[in-house]
Every structure is written in C-alpha cells, then in structure tokens.
Amino acid sequence: MGLFYGLVPGLWGGFALRPLTLMTNHRPPGPRAARPRLVLPRCSNYMDNARFSPRISHTVQRMNYFAQTRWGGSENLPDENRMREILAELEKSDPEHPDTWLTHESGWTLSVYESGLVIFENMESGEEPRHQLGVSREKALELWLKLSRGEIAAINQEPWRAGQAPARGAEEREEIIRKSEAVTLALDREFYDRLAPERTTVHCRHAGCQKGAIPNSVFCRVHHFENIRHRPCPFHD
Ligand SMILES: [Zn+2]
C-alpha cells in the first residue's frame, strides 16, 4: 500500500506510526479553507523509533506526493492515468467540492478547479500563492505530472498571476456578465416597445425589408433599432 506514514500520538502515550491518510482525507469546509498538511516526518525521526520497520522504510522512501480527490479522500502516488481520471471528475458540477489538488512533499500544491482556475501555492513556506485562469484539463495534468516529479522550477516558469484568485472568481464573473446582459436586454426591450407601429403607406428603406417605416423614421422597428443601437435587434415581433 502506498500510504504516507507519520508519527501520531499513540493511545497510551508516546507516538505510533500511522498512515497519514487518516489525517488528510477529510474535506475542508470551504473551497479555500486551510489545506490538510502533508506531514512527512524526517527520516531521522523514523530511524530513532524502535518500532520502525524496514518494510515501512522502503515505502517511505518512494512516496513523495498525493492527490486529494473531489469525493474520495486522498490517494498516494496516483499514476498518469489515475491523475487523468481524478481531473475528469471536475467535469461534473459540484459547488461544494469545486476542486481537486496534488501536493508534493516539498509542500507545493496545485489545486485545479471546475472553472479552470489553477492555484499553485506552498502552505509550508508561506510564499505568495499564484494562479492561472482557464487552464485546460490536459494542461492541468501536465502541471500535476511536473509537480509529482518535483519540477518546481519548471512550474514556476508558467504564466502565473500573483495571489489566490477567489475560488469562484470565474463563476462570479460569468454571473455578472449574465446579469449585465439581462439588464441590457430589458433596456432594449423597453426602447423597442416605445417605437410606434409601422406605417402601411411608407416602406422601410433597409434593402430587401418588406415592412413599413415607423413615424419619424425611414426604417421599420427592427431596422430603426439597429440604426440607433448599432447592433443586431434581438426582437422581431
Ligand atoms: Zn426594415
């Protein structure tokens, strides 16, 4: 089993060697709540411990990253195919669990969100987090693979923007655009509704238009709208 082991307080005092997944597989309550920390004990601590077994020692040496899946807790050393599956879970919308992340033993974590937001941060070093928007899943996979190999310098070459974008920034922006479009549409409708009925005696001057022109205009309602607003008329009634 590829588990992380660490020293945790034992039941009867002292410390016991336990799989660290027990400490990391709960979800934080909010999208940007503190990440469960990857507690990789120093090897010397292990060697000093009488209960430390060679079998576990072998395991400890090769485990150096884990993924936190959206719904299934943490998984140690996922391979490329498994990473792809974990990222594919982001295709389903779940605002309560908007992201999944990969943490390397260096403390660096790459969180990938449904929205395409990716945050690169190191909870241990306290360095300023950085982020990118609109990252494709394929690109996210590439970043995860680099992080799993500890290629921190290569990841830092990416066009990161400073800070931790709000987890739902992209969603909120979409919402603002939606509302703004709704307001525009309502104003357009109001304008359109105020246009007087088209005349039967005067034709719209727009080429090929069979409708009549409204009073005080050479155009029908639709073409008058487009002439004034300089964009297509969303109404045709
Ligand atoms: Zn017309």
- Does 143 fall in a domain? yes
Q: Which helix (H) or strand (E) holds 66?
A: strand 65-68
d(CA 202, ligand 1 centre) in Å: 11
Both 177 and 159 in one domain: the answer is no
- Does 32 fall in a domain? yes
* Whether residue 23 has pLDDT greater than 50: no
Cβ distance 54 to 61 under 8 Å? no
How many Cα atoms occupy the beta-carbon half-sphere of 41 within 13 Å? 22
Q: What's the distance, CA 58 to chain centroid? A: 35
pLDDT of 144-199, one tens digit each? 999 999 999 999 999 999 887 664 566 766 776 777 788 788 888 999 999 999 99
Residue 218 vs residue 7, higher pLDDT: 218
Both 209 and 140 in one domain: the answer is no
- Does 95 fall in a domain? yes
d(CA 205, ligand 1 centre) in Å: 7
pLDDT of 37-75, one tens digit each? 444 433 333 333 333 333 443 444 445 899 999 888 888
d(CA 192, ligand 1 centre) in Å: 13
* Whether residue 16 has pLDDT greater than 80: no
d(CA 194, ligand 1 centre) in Å: 16
- Does 234 fall in a domain? no
Q: What's the distance, CA 151 to chain centroid? A: 22
Both 143 and 38 in one domain: the answer is yes
Both 33 and 73 in one domain: the answer is yes
d(CA 210, ligand 1 centre) in Å: 7
d(CA 220, ligand 1 centre) in Å: 4
Both 20 and 137 in one domain: the answer is yes
Distance CA 84, CA 77 (A): 13
Domain count, the chain: 2
pLDDT of 186-224, one tens digit each? 888 999 999 999 999 999 999 999 999 999 999 999 999
d(CA 185, ligand 1 centre) in Å: 20
Both 95 and 198 in one domain: the answer is no
**Amino acid found at 215:** P
Distance CA 20, CA 74 (A): 10
d(CA 83, ligand 1 centre) in Å: 57
Judging by beta carbons within 10 Å of its beta carbon (0-12, 13-18, 19+), is residue 6 exposed, middle or buried? buried
Residue 214's pLDDT is: 96
Mean pLDDT, residues 2-9 = 40
Both 78 and 94 in one domain: the answer is yes
- Does 94 fall in a domain? yes
d(CA 52, ligand 1 centre) in Å: 85
Parent domain of 63: 5-165
- Does 56 fall in a domain? yes
Distance CA 38, CA 60 (A): 13
d(CA 198, ligand 1 centre) in Å: 10
Residue 78 vs residue 167, higher pLDDT: 78
Residue 229's pLDDT is: 85
Q: Which long-range contacts does 139-146 make (Cβ < 8 Å, 24+ apart)?
A: 140/87, 140/110, 140/112, 141/80, 141/83, 141/84, 141/87, 143/110, 143/118, 144/67, 144/83, 144/87, 144/102, 144/110, 144/112, 145/80, 145/83
pLDDT of 120-142, one tens digit each? 998 778 788 999 988 999 999 99
Residue 76 vs residue 15, higher pLDDT: 76
Both 134 and 34 in one domain: the answer is yes
d(CA 183, ligand 1 centre) in Å: 25
- Does 120 fall in a domain? yes
Beta strand 74-76 with 15-19 is unpaired
Q: What's the distance, CA 47 to chain centroid? A: 40
Residue 236 vs residue 19, higher pLDDT: 236
**pTM greater than 0.85:** no
Phi, psi of 207 (to 5 degrees): -55, 125
Residue 166's pLDDT is: 60
Q: Of the candidates 30, 176, 172, which has an alpha carbon nearest to the alpha carbon of residue 115? A: 172
* 3-class SS shares of the chain: helix, strand, coil, % to 5: 35, 15, 50
Both 152 and 203 in one domain: the answer is no
d(CA 108, ligand 1 centre) in Å: 61
d(CA 203, ligand 1 centre) in Å: 8
pLDDT of 80-95, one tens digit each? 999 999 999 999 888 8
